[in-house]
Amino acid sequence: MQDLYKKFKDYGKVKLNEPLAKHTTFKIGGPASFFVTVTETEKLVELLKLLDGKGIDYFIHGGGSNTLASDAGFVGVVIDVKTRNTEVQEDVFIADAGCVTVAVAQKSMAAGLTGFEWGVGVPGTIGGAVRGNAGAMGGDMKKDILKKVDVYIDGEVVEMTNEECEFGYRESAFKNNGGVILRAYLQLKKAEPDAQLMKKALEHLQYRSSTQPQGFASSGCIFKNSDFKIQNAECLDTLREFDA
Ligand SMILES: Cc1cc2nc3c(=O)[nH]c(=O)nc-3n(C[C@H](O)[C@H](O)[C@H](O)COP(=O)(O)OP(=O)(O)OC[C@H]3O[C@@H](n4cnc5c(N)ncnc54)[C@H](O)[C@@H]3O)c2cc1C
């Protein structure tokens, strides 16, 4: 245990038996044997390679806003991804996986780019948002936004295009392939000078706070939106058959 503790310190700040309840919006979760906070992508990749090489179990922690951790905790390493570099290249906003989604939305607007205004209402990190194809107010990571991602997968760092991410409604290939998202490239558009992006974003936020309870321990969206119209129609047909 002490040897591993010393080893993990090469990659970031290490906490032993860290309660996961402190890191999830549910405020639930027992202790993680090791909780390693990593702030550089290169260190993150090195740590992943080390853990894979030694066969040590790990779990990627972003913002903890879509994680239900067991009271029994996690035996292994929870990697707390806090890589937070950003860069703007023309109309592409590049964000490390640990960037806070809300901050990326704000920074993209401040850079005069439009397309990610909906991100101001989504808690958590960009890595978590890509993995879950997060979305709000009619937008999501898949739609026109995500150009490509850098991913650690099977011991290598590779680039994956939007199509290769196999996005669906709150779904992506990363839920099955174990890939760790390192960096996202958001393809946005240059906004008109009078676009009032921040005003639109504030309207999104006001709508959310008027329709959702605030200030409680929460996991946000537990349920997926469903096409009730179709379900109701099918249900009515069944009832009519039953009645006939
Ligand atoms: C109040 C509230 C409101 C919410 N509103 C919305 C909403 O409007 N729309 C929406 O889509 N969601 C919403 N959510 C859910 C949540 O915010 C999103 O799913 C968010 O994108 C999760 O990001 P995270 O960093 O917190 O993920 P975490 O909870 O840290 O992780 C979730 C999963 O992703 C994995 N993961 C995290 N980072 C990476 C990475 N870099 N590479 C690979 N896997 C990774 C984790 O291992 C875990 O399996 C809401 C949640 C709350 C609490």
Write the CA distances from 22 to 159, 233, 244, integer angstroms: 33, 45, 57
Question: What is the rounded CA–CA span in Å between residue 141 and residue 135?
Answer: 6
The H or E element spanning position 116 is none
Which among 70, 122, 223 is the best mutation to test ligand 1's pocket, defined by most ligand atoms within 8 Å of the CB? Answer: 122
Residues of the chain with CATH 3.30.43.10: 2-81
Average pLDDT, the chain: 91
CATH match of 2-81 with 3.30.43.10: yes
Chain centroid offset of residue 211 CA: 23
Question: What is the rounded CA–CA span in Å between residue 64 and residue 24?
Answer: 4
List pLDDT tens digits, range 145-180.
889 999 999 999 999 999 999 999 999 999 999 999
Residue 244 confidence (pLDDT): 67
Considering only CA atoms, which of 130, 150, 129 is closest in space to residue 45?
Answer: 150
Residues of the chain with CATH 3.30.465.10: 86-190
List pLDDT tens digits, range 101-144.
999 999 999 999 999 999 999 999 999 999 999 999 888 999 86
Residue 227 confidence (pLDDT): 63
List pLDDT tens digits, range 42-56.
999 999 999 999 999
**Which token pair is 225?**
């939106």
**Residue bearing the CA closest to ligand 1, atom 17:** 123
Sign of the dihedral through C-alpha 113, 66, 84, 152: negative
Indicate the pLDDT class of residue 28, thresholds 50, 70 and 90.
very high
Looking at the structure, give the CATH architecture of the domain made up of residues 86-190.
Answer: 2-Layer Sandwich (3.30)
**Residue bearing the CA closest to ligand 1, atom 44:** 180
Indicate the pLDDT class of residue 204, thresholds 50, 70 and 90.
confident
Shortest-distance atom of ligand 1 to CA 182: 41
